[in-house]
Amino acid sequence: MTEVCYKFDLATVYVSDAQYNRNSVFDTSPQTVRLYLLYNHWFMQTLVYVFIIVNLALALFEDPAVVPLPIWATSTTEIICLSAFTVRMIHYAKIIPKDKFWKDPKNICIIVVITLSFIDLTIYGALKSTGYFAIRWSRVLRPLLLVNVTEGRQLRRAFRSIRNALPQIAYVFLLFMFSVLVFSLVALKLFGKRGLLTIDGSPYFTDYVDIVFDLYVLVTTANSPDVMMPAYNYSDSFTIFFILYIVINIYTFMSFFLAVVYSNYKKHLKEEVRQLVKARRFKMCRAFSLLQEARGEGGEPVVTQAKWNHLVKLIKPNISIAHRELLWSVLDDQNKGHIGKFAFVQLADLLSIQVITVKSQPHPIHICFPSMYNSPVSRFIRYVVHHRMFVHVYDLIILVNAVFIGLDEENPVVSNAEWGFLVLYMLEIILKLYATEPRAFFARHHFWNWFDTIIIVSALFGTIINSALKHCKCRQILDIVFILRVLRLIRLVDTIKRFRAIINTLIKIGPTILTFGQLIVVVYYIFAMVGMELFKGKVQFFEPNSTSPDQEYCGNPLLKGTTFAKLNYCKNNFNNVVSSFIVLLELTVVNQCGFTAVTHISARIFFIFFHIVVVIIIINIFVAFILEAFLVEYTVDKSDLQTSLEKKIEELELNVQHFMDAYQHSILVLLILDAMESNDNELGPSEAAKQKPSLMFKIASRRSRTVDGLLQRMFETEIHPEDFEEEEPENINFSNPVFDSV
């Protein structure tokens, strides 16, 4: 490898690290740089995720299993996964300097988890083969790999948010528990000696521990009026106790938890993003110093266009020439042929901006049958399709369709009407395809066009298959057809501007909701593993048509006569991973604890602990995130957050033109570059091409899509753009794992 090659490789690593906010500190020897490039290759990263998913999915096949597999099969799979993680770890150790590697608790956590898993596997195998009872306790540790092994920085950050908020939450929680304990003591003294009975005839509020538990459950609102009814029936004035309890413990303390979590989340997020921005800038400066050359005597160091082109090609191998030229022209706005440090640093941001190349081409029918396409009838059709009334007419059709969907589909009029609607929808798509160039219609960002077409075409196929197989009455196909029909109605939302704004915010929040999805999976997985060990097989579900006498008490005599059995909750059990997850979801919504009847009373601790972790902490973090996202979206003035880069792009912009297409609401900026026309346009200058420049750049900033992006911008505007810190930021180690304090 030549020296130049190495320099470019290293610069590539720095730039892409800056682009993806990676924070590993690696040796800068040529060998390591190659290894590091391999380590961050998308294929390797995907592979790790696949192994993690396989490892987590093992819970489906291990006892208690949804689909039972022999132990040798699950063990072998687990060994393969663990080996893969070990290899990945060794690969990482080769890149990172030894001392840094062992200082990073993330790595130690992974090594510990892998070691413990191997030990557990060996013990379990040995015990099982000799016929002893054994527990796969290391399964609880599996989700830690998802948190630590992967590139899931977002997930780690969420965990760090929680960890930082923990001390404050703990204090409020202790005070809250103190309040619950004091209220319970008052309840014991007030109601205990009165000989009141609950609805199932048991004594009311006579045992202190039971009272504490009942009043804690009241906070989750699960037993809301029931717990109060005996006292209320006895005397009106006792409600004062419950009113005070509800106001103080439900409303005030629960809001306090949210406030604590939110204020911590906010503070922490700002600090992290600020440091991210600093770290990125530092890396870009490193990359610059690798490629810089002195210009003139005493002139500032610069990077030439040739070197820059080479670098960009290395970072994004499949970038189009036009796109690269565009980026360069944004940076080098005075056409000097070289750029300084200030411009170079912006490359990472520039590469994050998603640029979709849309070639404006005449309609295929126009090319084949120009006279027909330009005939008055054809022109009129195109005029009608692009008219606003066309959209409104179809909105009306959708509304009428909604009514028909609600009607009984076994009525022949209704089922025939469905064919009519399908034809109308197909006609709409065909007309639009006639009026709009097909490649533009199906451009990647035209969400609603794709949505419509997929829904309608699938519904068409489904309906055809369904009527072909009318005698088989396949519910699955019919279900899908029904759902597809209802989904068509969603398009109505898009026609009302205010709804669109809300939907757009929801879409922007989308990616981060996925992070919370992962967080929930991690927590649910751990609780499901523990719950399965505690409760598996205690509650049986019998198929509705079963005639077993055990059915009415879920196969467990302890449940005889309980509300749990009466309400037919038997399927809410921990007998496999899937039902465990569903029970945990139900517990998240309303914490009901029928399970304590089948095991020791101390199992309540499991439910209380779950409530604390999921409802008090995680749901509040989620709400805090949505609050912050909403506030950033709605109250921060976007123009203040426009990066210097976007301003430059706007200056460069020759002609902003909004598509007349009614479906196109997501356009941010349209960049039309006449200069590029000669390079890429292979078509001869036609009439249509003269009207519009043939190559357009649409800039839909992907970074601004997420709250993170907006926050990053907020801090970028705060940090002076010329202010480059040459020294490495001190607190650069973001990839700290979450569990270092555990």
- Residues 183-202 touching its own copies, rule: CB under 8 A, are 185-186, 188-190, 194, 199
**Which segment (148-156, 227-235, 289-297, 595-603) binds its own copies by CB under 8 A?**
227-235
Q: How far apart are CA 738 and CA 148, in angstroms?
A: 8
SS3 99: helix
Q: Closest separation between CB of residue 544 and its own copies, Å?
A: 6
Task: Tell me: does residue 234 bind its own copies (CB under 8 A).
Answer: yes
- Other beta carbons within 10 angstroms of residue 487's beta carbon come to 14
- Plot region of 355 (φ>0 → left; ψ -120 to 50 → alpha; else → beta): beta
Task: Tell me: does residue 474 bind its own copies (CB under 8 A).
Answer: no
> Are the beta carbons of 312 and 327 closer than 8 angstroms?
yes
Give how far Cα 332 sits from Cα of 303, 304, 342, 521, 675, Å: 11, 10, 11, 47, 15
Structure tokens belonging to residue 68:
């039972």
Task: Tell me: does residue 39 bind its own copies (CB under 8 A).
Answer: no
Residues 621-680 touching its own copies, rule: CB under 8 A, are 622-623, 626-627, 629-631, 634-635
Contact with its own copies (CB under 8 A): which of 384, 396, 423, 490? 490
Task: Tell me: does residue 208 bind its own copies (CB under 8 A).
Answer: yes
Structure tokens belonging to residue 696:
């357009």
Task: Tell me: does residue 715 bind its own copies (CB under 8 A).
Answer: no
Half-sphere CA count of 67, side-chain side, radius 13 A: 5
Task: Tell me: does residue 265 bind its own copies (CB under 8 A).
Answer: no
Residues 576-595 touching its own copies, rule: CB under 8 A, are 578-579, 582, 585-586, 589-590, 592
**Which segment (147-155, 229-237, 322-330, 600-608) binds its own copies by CB under 8 A?**
229-237
Q: Closest separation between CB of residue 562 and its own copies, Å?
A: 14
Looking at residue 250, its amino acid is: I
Q: Rank residues 67 and 368 by Cβ distance to its own copies and give the closer one.
A: 67
Task: Tell me: does residue 483 bind its own copies (CB under 8 A).
Answer: yes
Residues 549-578 touching its own copies, rule: CB under 8 A, are 566-569, 571-572, 578
Task: Tell me: does residue 544 bind its own copies (CB under 8 A).
Answer: yes
Contact with its own copies (CB under 8 A): which of 49, 118, 137, 256? 256
Q: Closest separation between CB of residue 100 and its own copies, Å?
A: 34
Q: How far apart are CA 59 and CA 77, in angstroms?
A: 12
Identify which of 682, 676, 711, 710 has the alpha carbon closest to the alpha carbon of residue 695: 676
Q: Rank residues 71 and 714 by Cβ distance to its own copies and give the closer one.
A: 714
SS3 68: coil
Query: How many residues bind to its own copies according to rule CB under 8 A?
Result: 85
Residues 120-159 touching its own copies, rule: CB under 8 A, are none
Contact with its own copies (CB under 8 A): which of 260, 347, 348, 711? 260
Site string for its own copies, 404-423 (x = CB under 8 A): -xx--x--------------
**Which segment (4-12, 253-261, 447-455, 550-558) binds its own copies by CB under 8 A?**
253-261
Give how far Cα 659 sits from Cα of 60, 362, 669, 675, Å: 50, 15, 11, 21
Q: Closest separation between CB of residue 233 and its own copies, Å?
A: 5
- By CB atoms closer than 10 A (0-12, 13-18, 19+), residue 395 is middle
Q: Closest separation between CB of residue 398 and its own copies, Å?
A: 12
- By CB atoms closer than 10 A (0-12, 13-18, 19+), residue 587 is buried
Residues 272-291 touching its own copies, rule: CB under 8 A, are none
Q: How far apart are CA 105 and CA 143, in angstroms?
A: 16
Long-range contacts from 387-394, C-beta under 8 angstroms, 24+ separation: 388/662, 390/662, 391/495, 391/662, 392/495, 394/424, 394/428
Give how far Cα 438 sits from Cα of 89, 361, 383, 727, Å: 48, 10, 17, 53
Residues 500-539 touching its own copies, rule: CB under 8 A, are 502-503, 506, 513
Q: Rank residues 383 and 499 by Cβ distance to its own copies and give the closer one.
A: 499
Q: Rank residues 220 and 556 by Cβ distance to its own copies and give the closer one.
A: 220
Q: Rank residues 261 and 433 by Cβ distance to its own copies and give the closer one.
A: 261
